[in-house]
Structure 1
């Protein structure tokens, strides 16, 4: 037991706990903005206005068609040069998660709303509701129920994607592990614990999502 407590498996944990805070903060804040962006874009993808549809589709295709790592580097190094601004690492990370996740959430929103029977819109209009009111009070609540499982999956994906932010020295878990084993020469132990930490989050989340999906019957 003493040997285990003195091992690198245990000694690296304080570093990983510190990184876990950054991981959760970036993921949660990024997904809040990402959901807002995705909801607007998803509705835009259903618009009959060609300009709105075109802008929304362009954003989705560009983001989904380029690697997240390239997006991170572009936001952190490219945009400041062009716009003449300075972004701190955490802010750049949140923007990257929001923009990247927003494109995928847009497709989740579009698919969920599009799956609702078109008669629901006609029923809402027939009782005097405007199109916006019908969407808000009739279509959206039903569609949101169907979004929950894929949104949970997107949370897991975005959580794992935060490991890419180590390239711009954000202090998330992978970066903290690299800092540790660069001075203690124990990459196997440190990276093993990183993987275990991610599994401790993602596996229970996946199980909860399956249970929610069964309960919602979607």
Structure 2
């Protein structure tokens, strides 16, 4: 082995700037995925058959095809239909958000169904509207139960965000690849990028455990 990290030291600040890009993509995608996931989960437990079929079909498509394919279809395919180019950032957010929504919808659906049916029946018996019942009674309890699963999805999204390098977004991975091309040595910048991702994931893991402990104390 002939590792020489000293040659990439001047380029480390450039790679570290990719953290901001990665965080922006992950946060925007997570928000979009969560909102769509809640809507899809409600469609899945609805008595409206067309809504159920739509939500199930959506989940089937986005869970059954590779994320990188979805990203490339949005970035390269949609402009062919729309007639104008899409920037890497919105393309990444759309692809990751739509994909994450499929998984989050299943997580939330399971959480809602895990809540005691007696509470739903009691709320309906008291005349509480469905929207208020779901928003103030059922969903808060479901979210408390599925928090670990949601954190795992967020961590997975953080790692999978690295594939935006294929559309040229200047995230951590793309910057490490650029530095590798400039130095004619890819191993060192890629290891450095891997270390950054590892620290980010460990930080999210500790944050998730801290939030989970706090929510348990609040029970």
TM bracket, shorter-chain basis: over 0.9
Aligned to 1:39: 38
Aligned partners of 1:8 and 1:186 also within 8 Å: no
Which region of structure 1 is more displaced relative to structure 2, 20-29 or 200-209? Answer: 200-209
Aligned to 1:71: 70
Task: Summarize the alignment of residues 186-201 of structure 1 with structure 2, pairs less than 5 Å apart.
Answer: 186-201=185-200
How far off its partner does 1:215 sit? Answer: 4.6
Structure 2 spans left out of the alignment, 5+ residues = none
Aligned to 1:58: 57
Aligned to 1:89: 88
Aligned partners of 2:29 and 2:94 also within 8 Å: yes
State the alpha-carbon separation in 2 of the partners of residues 9 and 157 from structure 1.
Answer: 28
- With the length of structure 2 as denominator, give the TM-score of the two structures: 0.92
Structure 1 residue 13 corresponds to structure 2 residue 7: no
Aligned to 1:163: 162
Structure 1 spans left out of the alignment, 5+ residues = none
How far off its partner does 1:173 sit? Answer: 0.6
Structure 1 residue 27 corresponds to structure 2 residue 2: no
How far off its partner does 1:75 sit? Answer: 0.5
Aligned partners of 1:15 and 1:176 also within 8 Å: yes
Root-mean-square deviation (CA), in Å? Answer: 1.7
State the alpha-carbon separation in 2 of the partners of residues 189 and 8 from structure 1.
Answer: 9
State the aligned residue count: 214
Aligned to 2:182: 183
How far off its partner does 1:128 sit? Answer: 1.8
State the alpha-carbon separation in 2 of the partners of residues 194 and 147 from structure 1.
Answer: 30
State the alpha-carbon separation in 1 of the partners of residues 28 and 159 from structure 2.
Answer: 15
Which region of structure 1 is more displaced relative to structure 2, 206-215 or 27-36? Answer: 206-215
> 1:7 aligns to what SS in structure 2?
helix
State the alpha-carbon separation in 2 of the partners of residues 60 and 119 from structure 1.
Answer: 29
Aligned partners of 1:8 and 1:190 also within 8 Å: no
Aligned partners of 2:19 and 2:172 also within 8 Å: yes
Moved >4 Å (runs of 4+): none
How far off its partner does 1:207 sit? Answer: 2.7
How far off its partner does 1:210 sit? Answer: 3.0
State the alpha-carbon separation in 2 of the partners of residues 57 and 83 from structure 1.
Answer: 27
- With the length of structure 1 as denominator, give the TM-score of the two structures: 0.92
State the alpha-carbon separation in 1 of the partners of residues 27 and 201 from structure 2.
Answer: 14
